[in-house]
Every structure is written in C-alpha cells, then in structure tokens.
A and B are shown apart, each in its own frame.
Chain A
Amino acid sequence: MLTKAQIILWLENVAAVMRQNRDYLTGLDAAVGDADHGANMDRGFQTVLQKLPSWDGSDIGGILKLAGMALMSSVGGASGPLYGTFFMRAGTAAAGKEELDDDDLRKLLAAGVEGIVQRGRPVLGDKTMYDSLFPALDALSAALASGADTQTALDRAVSAAEEGMLATIPLQARKGRASYLGERSIGHQDPGATSAYLILKALWDAAA
C-alpha cells in the first residue's frame, strides 16, 4: 500500500537524487553520448519539485500526470519524452486514486513502462533505460504474485533494476545516441538505465 504523501515524497526524492547524481549521470553520458543526461534529468525534476506544491489538490493519478507533463516540457533529449510518457501513463493508470494497493502499483508501473516501449521501441539488450525497467517490473510482478508485501516487492524490483543497469556495461548500444559509437559503447554503463534505477530506488525509499 502506498499513500498520496508517499507518492509526493517519491517525486521529491527523485529530485534530490538527480541533483546529487547530476555530474555522475552526465559523466556516464559523456562516455557514450553527449554529456547532458544529468543536466537534463536535474532540470526536469527541479521543475517537478517547484510545481509539486501547486498540485496538492490532485489525486495520485493527477499528480503523476502533471509530473509527466512537467518533464515533457523541461527535460528535452531522448529521455524527456520517454520519462514524460512514463509518468503520464502511470498517472492515467492511477486516475482517481488517493492511495495505491499493490495491484494499483503494479498496473501503474506497467503502464509507464508500456508508454516508454511505444515511444522509443526499445528491445531488451539495446542498452537503454528499458534494460533496468523491464526486469524491475518483472521482479515486482513476480514478488506480488507470490504474496510478498509492497516493500519486499519494491526491494526485489530495485535489485533487479540494479542488475539490469550493471548488465548494460558489456552491451553494445543499439538505440539512441550511443548506438553511433558501435563497439566503442561496450564497457560503459548506460546513463538512462542508471537514472531509471535511481527513480525506482527513490520509490523504494519513499515506501519505507
């Protein structure tokens, strides 16, 4: 079970984490892209943070949707429309909710990930954010199906995301800017897979 206060805390946590990891993410992007992922994510979630207080009257679905729109209009790059879509779809899936039971949580994350798939068409192993998100969703669903509680399920999801993130290191990128490096993308961790892991970890923190 997650409350609206915890969802708000999640977004606040993400903003803090993106600020802390701004240079780290940008450094990862410098190795395989154009050195802006940390700046993009930080700009986006600072915008969310600024607007959050004015969304207080909205339910969880509304807040996530507004967060998605704020990201969409401030992040830019490939990650902007992808994370924007993630939160907008998650919000649509949670429309009208003031709290989330476990199945609501699973549906919300599944809808968000499905949005990313429709926009960016990533396939597992392309070396993108999907490589942490897909295994995380899978682990969460499996944990909930086997009767685990919210916190345990999120714990498994975060571990799976971390594994997925680390597993991008030996991969050759096939999507996004990094794909232009060909074999030179091998040996570097994907910036988007890293920010996706950080977002899920921030949710785990908020749920604790």
Chain B
Amino acid sequence: MKKLINAVDDVVREQLQGMAAAHPDLVRVHYDPRYIVRADAPVQGKVAVISGGGSGHEPMHGGFVGRGMLDGACPGEMFTSPTPDQVYACAQAVDGGAGVLMIVKNYTGDVLNFETALELAHFDGIPVQSVLIDDDAAVKDSLYTAGRRGVGATVLAEKIVGAAAEAGYDLDACANLCRRVNRYARSIGIALTSCTVPAAGRPTFELGDGEFEFGIGIHGEPGRQRLPMRAADSVTEMMAAAILDDGPYTRTVREWDRQAGEWLDVTLTDDPFQPGDGVIAFVNSMGGTPLSELYIVYRKLAEILAQRGIRIQRNLIGPYITSLEMQGISITLLKTDDEILRLWDAPVLTPGLRWGM
C-alpha cells in the first residue's frame, strides 16, 4: 500500500501545517491541543459554531472554517474523535460572548468526547449548546444500535447554521435551526473499495472486485450489505430508494438543558420525503471517486427525483466529506424551506467551500 506521507505519526500535524501555510488569510491553526479557528476569531457578539471529528474526512471539518461557516474545528487522530480538552480549548478560543454551538456527528466517540467538553465549557461560564447530526438512513433502528450516524447532512448543516450565526441569530435560534436541518436530511453511502488508515497500513475491510458495499458510514467500516457490483444507474436507484422510501425515524437523544445544566432525553421523529418537497441534492465523493462518476450519478438522481415530484433547488457535487482514498459516494437530500435556502445562498469563504465573496 502506497501513501504520500512522511512518518505515520506525523500525518495529522503535517496536514494542519499545510493548511496553515496555504490559508493564513482564512484560518489559524493551534497545535497543542489541536484546533483550527477563523483568522479573525473570536468574533465579538456572534454565536460561534464549532465542530470536529476524526481526521481523514477532508475538507470536513477544518476546510469549512471561515466566514459564513465554522468558527472552529477540532481534528482528532485519523478516524478517531477529538478529545474533550481540544474541544474545550477550541470553544474558549472562538467564544465572542454570544455562546458556542457544537455540531456533533452521531458516533459514540464523538458524542462522549463532545458531551464532556460541553460540560467543561458550561461550568466555565460559556453559554453552550450542542446538536447531534444523525442522517444516515442505512441504520434502520435506534433501539439496538447507537442510532443513525452523522454523515453528509453535517456539511449542509455547517453551511446553513454558519450563515445563520453570521446573520446574527442567537445561540438557541442557531441550535433550533441546526436541529431542523438535521431532521430534514437523510443520506446513504456506498463503497467500491475500503480505505487504508495510515497507522493500520492495510485496508480496513476487503471488498472483492465484483462487489460493492451498501450502507457504509465514513470510516471505512463495513456497511449494511455486500452486493454484486452493478451499473451506476442501478446503484443510484438503490440509493435514492433508500432515502425516499425511508419511513419516519424516531430516536431518543440527549439534549443539553442550559438552564438546568444537565442532559435531558428527548425523543425526535423525522418525517419521510413527500412529493412536492424542494431539496438540496448533495452527491459526495468518498475521496477516490472522480467527479465524472459523481455527475453520472447526479444525472440519474435528478431523473428519479423528477419522477417522484421532488424539486432539486440547489445542488452540491464533489468531495466534501470523505473517507481517505475510498472509492465510493454518498447522496444526501435536505428538504428546504425559504429560510434554509436563503442561508444556503448566503456568502461563504472557507478553504473548502466558497461562494458569494
């Protein structure tokens, strides 16, 4: 297995050094503990939005730090969640007095580390909220699993909520908006290959030449089903069906009660997509799938959605939430409303996503 790296232990630090060298106008990198913040952080009077997770998903999250998106990002080791001291230090560095919203992907490791960090920040007097992203329709049930994973909707939520914070929304308004974006979004992913974590040195799982893996997450972990490889249109049909035919999804999550200073169990239900819905359609590469193939998928997806009476109002196509060099894709659909569309269109200036300025 060849990788364009130096020492295995230096991969995360050296990529951060590269980001710092490439984008000094947009971001500042802190190394011990590791976090990335907007060059002009903290922005006084603005809610700060932060996220984080394992490295290996670039450009997420560090590449989304900048005006109109994230104020800070905490990169963990490869595919390993960041630690509470990192997240806490990042929260302190970006808090401009209006509080900090943590956008957390639903993986047990991320959840537990961010919960601990949130408690540290809270008892330090920083107003904090957190929102779980759990949009992966590959996970059917929430009773016997850790619940749906956070995947593609994370990127869309970071963009939309980042725009809201920039527009002056307060902490609770940002958190409520983020929860709505999460409830309106569903994703599904597939892999044609596994990927190799540098420290492991070999692929996380083996996938035969004639097979693909349906319902993967973003960590090179095996998915829901292994199936014989088929043509792009047929794979796209399966993926679209997994999202569009997905029924209501109910789960209980822990939400932070800022007044009481404790976690509450809250039960939430996501409603299925309906004919007449407008959506943002996001076709994402896992790192190794070229843009040409993403467009082949998008072409079929647009056709299927038109047949179902669902209008694509905006799209995002490219590698935004990746799994190292994995060949594979994910599709995310986010139901829109006027507010979501307006915030999606708002200017954004980050290393990984940029329009309107």
Task: Report yes or no: A76 in contact with B113, Cβ–Cβ below 8 A.
Answer: yes
| B77→A177 contact, CB < 8 A | no
Q: Which A residues lie within 8 Å of B149 (CB)?
A: 180
Check B169 for interface membership: any CB of A closer than 8 A: no
Size class of the A contact interface (CB-based, 8 Å): 20 to 34
Chain A residues closer than 8 Å to B85, beta-carbon distance: 72-73
Minimum CB–CB distance for A180 against chain B, Å: 6
How far, in angstroms, from A80 to B288 measured CA to CA in the complex? 30
Given A80-B109, A179-B145, A180-B149, decide whether A72 and B221 contact each other with a Cβ distance below 8 A. no
Residue of B nearest to A173 (CB): B145
Can you list 29 residue pairs at the A/B interface with Cβ under 8 Å? A34-B197, A34-B219, A34-B220, A35-B197, A35-B200, A40-B80, A72-B116, A73-B33, A74-B83, A76-B76, A76-B77, A76-B80, A76-B82, A78-B81, A78-B108, A80-B81, A80-B109, A81-B84, A81-B113, A120-B112, A175-B146, A177-B146, A177-B221, A179-B144, A180-B139, A180-B146, A180-B149, A181-B221, A184-B222
| A78 and B85 alpha carbons, distance in the complex (Å) | 15
- Is B249 close to A, CB under 8 A? no
Q: B: which residues have CB within 8 A of A?
A: 33, 54, 76-86, 107-109, 112-113, 115-116, 138-139, 144-146, 149, 197, 199-200, 204-205, 217, 219-222, 224
Verify A73–B109 contact, CB threshold 8 A: no
Residues of A within 8 A of B145 (CB): 174, 179-180, 182
For the complex, give the distance between the alpha carbons of A82 and B78 in Å. Answer: 19
Docked-complex contact A30 and B200, CB < 8 angstroms:
yes
List B contacts of A40 (CB < 8 A). 77, 80
Report yes or no: B83 in contact with A72, Cβ–Cβ below 8 A.
yes
Cβ-closest 5 pairs across A and B = A179-B145, A81-B112, A76-B80, A78-B108, A77-B109
> In the docked arrangement, what's the CA distance between A169 and B164, Å?
47
Interface status of A15 (Cβ within 8 A of chain B): no
> What A residues does B84 contact at CB under 8 A?
72-73, 81, 84
**Chain B residues with CB below 8 A from A36, complex form:** 77-80, 197, 199-200
| Given the contacts A36-B77, A180-B145, A73 and B108 also touching, CB distance less than 8 Å | no
Evaluate whether A80 and B107 lie within 8 angstroms (CB atoms) in the complex, with A120-B112, A176-B146 already known: no
A140–B325 Cα distance when bound, in Å, is 48
A176 to B191, CA, bound (A): 21
| B71: min CB distance to chain A, Å | 22
B323 to chain A, nearest CB (A): 10
Q: Is A91 an interface residue (CB 8 A)?
A: no
> What residues on A are CB-neighbors of B113 within 8 Å?
76, 80-81
Is A119 interfacial (CB-CB < 8 Å)?
A: yes
Residues of B within 8 A of A84 (CB): 84, 116
A73–B109 Cα distance when bound, in Å, is 13
Given known pairs A174-B145, A179-B146, the reply for A78 and B109 (CB within 8 Å) is: yes
Evaluate contact between A34 and B204: CB separation under 8 angstroms.
Answer: yes
A26 interface residue (CB < 8 Å to B): yes
**B205 cross-chain contacts in A, Cβ below 8 A:** 30
Q: Is the CB of B83 within 8 A of A174?
A: no
Contact B83 A175 (CB under 8 A): no
The answer to whether A39 has its CB under 8 Å from any CB of chain B is yes
Interface string of A60-85 (1 = CB under 8 A from B): 00000000000011111111111011
Q: Are B222 and A181 in contact (CB under 8 A)?
A: yes
Confirm or deny: A164 has a beta carbon within 8 angstroms of a beta carbon on chain B: no
Instruction: Say yes or no for A112: interface residue by CB 8 A criterion.
Output: no
A35-B197, A82-B112 in contact; A30/B204 too (CB < 8 A)? Answer: yes
Once the chains are docked, how many angstroms separate the CA of A79 from the CA of B116?
A: 13
Question: Is A135's CB within 8 Å of the partner chain B?
Answer: no
Chain B residues with Cβ below 8 Å from A77 are: 80-81, 109
A176 B79 Cβ-Cβ under 8 A: no
Chain A residues closer than 8 Å to B144, beta-carbon distance? 172, 174, 179, 182
Residue of B nearest to A121 (CB): B254
Q: Closest CB of chain A to B149's CB: distance in Å?
A: 7
**Chain B residues near A72 (CB-CB < 8 A):** 83-85, 116
Chain B residues, Cβ within 8 Å of A85: 116
Docked complex: A29-73 residues within 8 A CB-CB of B: 30, 33-36, 39-40, 43, 72-73
